[in-house]
Structure 1
Amino acid sequence: MAGACSLGLLQVLLLAVARASLPGTVVRLNKAALDYVSDIGKAPLQRALQVTISDFLDPRGEVLQSTRVQILDVHLLLLHLKFIVDFGVRLSAAANFTVKVFRVPEPMELVLPVALQADVHVTRDSIGTLVLSIPTCSSTFSPASTLDGSNSTSQELLALVQEHIKADLSGKLCLRVSGLVQDLNVHLGTLIGLSPVGPESQIRYSITSEPTITSNYMSVDVRAVLFLLGKPILLPVSDAHSFVLPWPSGDEGAMATVGLSQHLFDCALQMLQKAGSLNLDITGQLNSKNNPLNTSTLGQLVPEVAHQFPEPMPVVLKVRLGATPVITLHTNNSTLKLQPFVEVLAASPNSALQFLFSLDVLVNLNLQLFVSKAKLRGTTSILGGVQLSVATSNVGSIDMDQVHAVISTVFQKPLLDHLNALLRMGIALPSVLNLHYVHSKVSVCEGYVVISSGFTYQH
C-alpha cells in the first residue's frame, strides 16, 4: 500500500446523469507502455511484411521475360513508438528484406533495406472506446546489395530490379501496417464489455472524451458504471468538477498509471450493501468449546436468558448492514467503517428462532488494496476493537460490559472472513482481452487511489 502521493487533493469525478453521478477513473499510458508494445509487436509486424511481389519483367534479349520475385526473409531491425502531442503515436521501423529473383540460368539474391514510418491517430468513437487510424504512412528504400555467392550482376540490372521491388512494395507495406492497426481496433473494443463483479453485479468501462496526448503519456478519462440486477448504481451529485490525475503521479517508469476516484469505491460498497452481500448469519454450536454462542453462556450474563432457556440452545447472530459502509482515503492510509445491525436469536425447542435482543455495532477496519489478474482486490483487519450498544431487548436489562466480550469475540472473525472473501473477489480494472496487470503497486492518496503497473499480454 506504500507509495508517495505528494501532489495534494484530487477533485472528485461526478458525471451527472438524471441528478446522479457515475464513478470516475483515469488511465494513463506512459512511455514504458510504448516500449512494451514495440517489443511484443516486432514478431507480428515482421510476419505482416512478408508480402507477395509481382513478377519482374526482365529486359533480356528482344522480348521482356516475366521473372518470379520472392521475399525469402524479413528481418526487423527496429520498431520504435513515440507519442505525438495532441495526435497519437508515431511508428518507425527498419527492416532488411532478403529477396530472390529467379532468373535463368542463375537466380539472384539481394538484400534491400527499408524504413517505414506511420502516424497513428488515436481518437474516441461514439460507443466509448479508442479507435486507431493511419492517415500518413511512407516507406523509404536504401540501395540494395547482392548477397555473397551471387553471380555478378550489372548495376543497371540491379537498379531495375530494385525499382520494380520498390514500386511493388511501397503501397503493400503500408497496407499491412494498416491491417495490424485495424486488428488492434477490434482488440481495443473489448474494453467496453461487461465484467462480472458478483453473481448479480457487473462493471462496464467506457471512455468519456478524446484522449489527452503529451510527449510523455496518453491519458483517457474512463466512466465506470456498476450494475446490480441490470440497474446502474448511481449516487447523488455533490460536485461538478472532473477527476484529474496530476502529472507526475505514481511511478513514472511504470507502463500504466490508473487513478481511481473515491466515488468508484463508494459506488462499489453501495452495490455490495444493496445486493445483501455484506449480510451474514453467525451460528453457535452446542458441542463447540471455542464458540460461546449458546443460551447457557449468555444466561450467565443475562439472567432472563437463563430463565427462558433452562436447557442450553444454540444462539444465532443475524448481521445486517442497513447503512452503506464508508471508505476513507488518506495518504498511505485507507479505512472502512461498518455499522451493522445485529439481532441475537436463540433456537427454541421447536426449532423456531426466538428474538432475544439487538445491537447497534460500529467497527473500523484497516483496508489494504492490491492488484491481481487485472482486478483490484482487498483485505481488512479490525482497528481498535468493536463498539456495541443495545438497540432493543426482549430479555430485560443487559450489562454490555459483560456481554461485550462474548459477542465481540464470536463476531469479529466470521465478519472478517466474510468481508475478506468478498474483497478478494475484486473488481475488474480497465483492460482489454488477454491483457493482465503485473508488478502493480497501489498508492493511497487523499481521496483517491493510484495504481502503477506493468502489463503482460497472453495470447
Structure 2
Amino acid sequence: MGAQSLAVACGALALCLALARASNPGFVVRITQAGLDYAHQHGIAALEKELAQLKLPDLSGDFRIWHVGKVQYEISRLSLSSFHLPYSQISLVPDVGLQVSISNAFAELDGNWRIKMNLIRGYGSFDLRVENVYIKIQLRLGSDTSGRPTIDTSACTTRISSVRVHFSGRFGWLYNLFYKAIESRFRKALESKVCERVSKSVRSELQPYVQTLPVTAKIDAIAGIDYSLVAPPTATAQSLDVDLKGEFFSLANRSTVPFLPLALALPPDHDRMVYFGVSSYFFNTASFVYHAAGALVFEITNSVIPKGIEFRLDTSTFSAFIPQLEEMYPHMEMKVTLSTPSAPFLNIGPDGLSLKPVVDIQTYAILPNSTLAPLFLLSLTGNVSAVIDVKSGYIVGDLKVGRLKLSLKHSDVGTFQVLMLQSIMNVLASNILLPRLNERLAEGFPLPLPDRIQLSNILVGFHQNFLLLGADVQYQPQGLR
C-alpha cells in the first residue's frame, strides 16, 4: 500500500471512529410518561400563577346604534383576579418534542368602562368570567453548542369559547350592544396575551431551569465527568431520551480515550419516572483517567496497617517463607507498592458487575539510610465483584475480592515458593487495599440531575454492557432545601 493510500485509509478510519463516538452515548437519561406527568404538575401550577399576572391593554373604539348614532367606549384597568387550569395533560410528540393540552380553563377579571353618546355620559365597573378556554402548547427540545439542553415554544394556540360580563352602573340597557361591540376584541386580546405569556415563561423560567442539568461535574483534583448532550433529546411514543457523553476526563490533560462506547438499548421499563442507562464505557473511562494520572498506585508500609491486624510488614515476617531474607536484610521494615500495568476494565452483564484486575506487587526492604532495596515483583490476578447503589444522587460502589492468584515476575533475592505468600497478600488486599478503594467509591460519582431534584424508590438492574438505574423524582422548591 502506497503512502497516499495509507493516509486515505487512516483518514477514513479516523472518520469512522469519530462518527461511532458521536453516535453512541456513554450515558442515557430516559424520562417516562410518569416523569413527564410529575414535571407537568409543577409546571401547570407555575403557569397558573404566571397567567394570573397577565396585563391586558385598555380597549377603546366606537359603534353605531340605529336611530341613536355613534357610541364611543373605553375599557380600562383590566385586571385578572385568577386563572385556573383544572384539566391538562402532557404528551410526547415523536421526533418533535412535547405537547401540553389544557382544556376547560377559566379566568376571572374586572375593570372599568366608560361610554359617550351624544350628550349622554356613562361609566361603571364590570366583572368578567372567561370560560371554556383551550390552550395547546408545543415545546421544541434541542441542545446548544456547549451540550446543554434547550427548550422553546414552537407553537401555541388559545381558543376562548365563552365570555360572560356583568356590568354595573347607569345605562344597563346598553349592555347587550356594548358587549357585542367589545367581546371579539377582548377575546382576541386575551388569546394573544396567553400565548405571549406562555412563550415568555418558557424562555425565562423553563429554559434556565433545564440548563441547570450539569454539562460537567468535577470529581476531585484528578478527574471530572462530561455530561454534555451528544444529540438533541429524542421523543418517542413512550419516553423522552437524552443522550449524554458520559465520559470521565483528566482535569490536567484532557485527551481522547482510546476506546469507544457501545450502543445502549434500554429496556422498555416504565415503572419509575426516570431511568439512567450507565454504560461500561462510563466506568472504564474513569479507570483509564485515574490510571493515566498514576492514581492507581498504592504504597503500603507499617504506618498504614490497621492496629487490629496482627501483622508486621518486615523481613522477619517474610523470612518464614523466604529464608534468605533473614541473611540479606535482617530485621528491616518493608514497603509494598501495588500498581496496575493497565487500566482495569469493568464488565457489566445480566449477572452483575465484575472486573479481573492484574496488579503488580513490588516489595522493598527499607535500609537503615531510608533507601529502598528491591526484593521481588509479583503479579496478582483475581476476581472482583462490585455492588452498585445510588445515594443522595450519587452512584456509589463497594468492591468484594474473590479468589486471588499470585505469580512471580522477578526476584532479587533468589527463588522461593510464591504460593506460600498467598495468605500475606490476602491480608494486604482485603484489609488495606480494598478498604481504601471502597472508601473512595463510597463518596460516589454524581448523576446528572437538574437543580432541586431528589431521587427515591431506586432500583438497580444489570444488562449487557450497561447498568440500569430507575428512580422516582421529587422536586424541592426553593426555600425547602
Query: What interval of TM-score do these two structures reach, taking the shorter chain for normalisation?
Result: 0.7 to 0.9
1:65-106 deviation per Cα after TM superposition (whole angstroms, max 9, x unaligned): 453221112233233210112211111224321211245876
Instruction: Indicate how the Cα distance of structure 1 residues 133 and 19 shifts in structure 2: closer, same or farther if over 3 A, else same.
Output: closer
Map 1:237-386 onto structure 2 (within 5 A): 243-248=263-268, 251-285=269-303, 290-311=310-331, 313-384=332-403, 386=404
Matched, 1:101 2:101: no
What amino acid does structure 1 have at the position aligned with 2:316? S
Match of 1:235 in 2: 258
Match of 1:8 in 2: none
Gaps of 5+ in 2: 1-14, 64-69, 115-122
Following superposition, the deviation at residue 380 of structure 1 comes to 0.9
Following superposition, the deviation at residue 396 of structure 1 comes to 2.6
If you compute each CA radius of gyration, which structure gives the higher value, 1 or 2?
A: 2
Distance, in Å, in 1 between the alignment partners of 2:19 and 2:36 is 39
Match of 2:235 among 194, 202, 213: 213
Following superposition, the deviation at residue 19 of structure 1 comes to 9.8
Matched, 1:84 2:93: yes
Structure 2 contact 458–469 (Cα < 8 Å) conserved: yes
Following superposition, the deviation at residue 165 of structure 1 comes to 3.4
Match of 2:424 in 1: 406
Map 1:66-215 onto structure 2 (within 5 A): 66-94=75-103, 95-102=105-112, 107-113=125-131, 114-145=133-164, 154-157=175-178, 162-183=183-204, 184-191=206-213, 193-215=215-237
Structure 2 contact 266–277 (Cα < 8 Å) conserved: no
Instruction: Indicate how the Cα distance of structure 1 residues 33 and 304 shifts in structure 2: closer, same or farther if over 3 A, else same.
Output: same
Point out the more displaced range, 95-104 or 262-271.
95-104
Distance, in Å, in 2 between the alignment partners of 1:18 and 1:396 is 53
Following superposition, the deviation at residue 193 of structure 1 comes to 2.6
Instruction: Indicate how the Cα distance of structure 1 residues 182 and 18 shifts in structure 2: closer, same or farther if over 3 A, else same.
Output: closer
1:226-264 deviation per Cα after TM superposition (whole angstroms, max 9, x unaligned): 321241341246x9xx6142551xx31222223233223
What amino acid does structure 2 have at the position aligned with 1:52? K
Structure 2 contact 456–474 (Cα < 8 Å) conserved: yes
1:90-142 deviation per Cα after TM superposition (whole angstroms, max 9, x unaligned): 11224321211245876333332322111222344454443333232111223
What amino acid does structure 1 have at the position aligned with 2:426? S
Instruction: Indicate how the Cα distance of structure 1 residues 187 and 440 shifts in structure 2: closer, same or farther if over 3 A, else same.
Output: same
Following superposition, the deviation at residue 17 of structure 1 comes to 3.0
Secondary structure of 2:188's aligned partner: helix
Larger RCO, structures 1/2 (Cα 8 Å, 6+ apart): 1
Map 1:1-80 onto structure 2 (within 5 A): 16-17=17-18, 24-49=26-51, 50-57=53-60, 63-80=72-89
Secondary structure of 1:235's aligned partner: coil
Structure 1 contact 225–232 (Cα < 8 Å) conserved: no
Distance, in Å, in 1 between the alignment partners of 2:406 and 2:38 is 53
1:386-409 deviation per Cα after TM superposition (whole angstroms, max 9, x unaligned): 222222223333233332212321
What amino acid does structure 2 have at the position aligned with 1:73? S
Gaps of 5+ in 1: 1-13
Secondary structure of 2:39's aligned partner: helix
Match of 1:432 among 427, 430, 450: 450
Following superposition, the deviation at residue 18 of structure 1 comes to 9.7
Distance, in Å, in 2 between the alignment partners of 1:257 and 1:296 is 55
Length-normalised TM-score, structure 2: 0.80
Structure 2 contact 92–236 (Cα < 8 Å) conserved: yes
Distance, in Å, in 2 between the alignment partners of 1:389 and 1:37 is 57
Secondary structure of 1:441's aligned partner: strand
1:398-422 deviation per Cα after TM superposition (whole angstroms, max 9, x unaligned): 2333322123213322211122123
Following superposition, the deviation at residue 436 of structure 1 comes to 4.3
Distance, in Å, in 1 between the alignment partners of 2:471 and 2:315 is 52
Distance, in Å, in 1 between the alignment partners of 2:16 and 2:454 is 28
Instruction: Indicate how the Cα distance of structure 1 residues 135 and 409 shifts in structure 2: closer, same or farther if over 3 A, else same.
Output: closer
Instruction: Indicate how the Cα distance of structure 1 residues 413 and 79 shifts in structure 2: closer, same or farther if over 3 A, else same.
Output: farther
What amino acid does structure 2 have at the position aligned with 1:256? V
What amino acid does structure 2 have at the position aligned with 1:290? E
Structure 2 contact 249–285 (Cα < 8 Å) conserved: no
Instruction: Indicate how the Cα distance of structure 1 residues 191 and 68 shifts in structure 2: closer, same or farther if over 3 A, else same.
Output: closer
Match of 1:11 in 2: none
Structure 1 contact 71–98 (Cα < 8 Å) conserved: yes
Following superposition, the deviation at residue 160 of structure 1 comes to 5.2
Point out the more displaced range, 425-434 or 294-303.
425-434
Following superposition, the deviation at residue 59 of structure 1 comes to 7.5
Length-normalised TM-score, structure 1: 0.84
For the aligned residues, what is the CA RMSD? 3.3
Structure 2 contact 264–466 (Cα < 8 Å) conserved: no
Aligned residues: 439
Instruction: Indicate how the Cα distance of structure 1 residues 167 and 185 shifts in structure 2: closer, same or farther if over 3 A, else same.
Output: same
Secondary structure of 1:209's aligned partner: coil
Distance, in Å, in 2 between the alignment partners of 1:348 and 1:296 is 14
Instruction: Indicate how the Cα distance of structure 1 residues 138 and 410 shifts in structure 2: closer, same or farther if over 3 A, else same.
Output: same
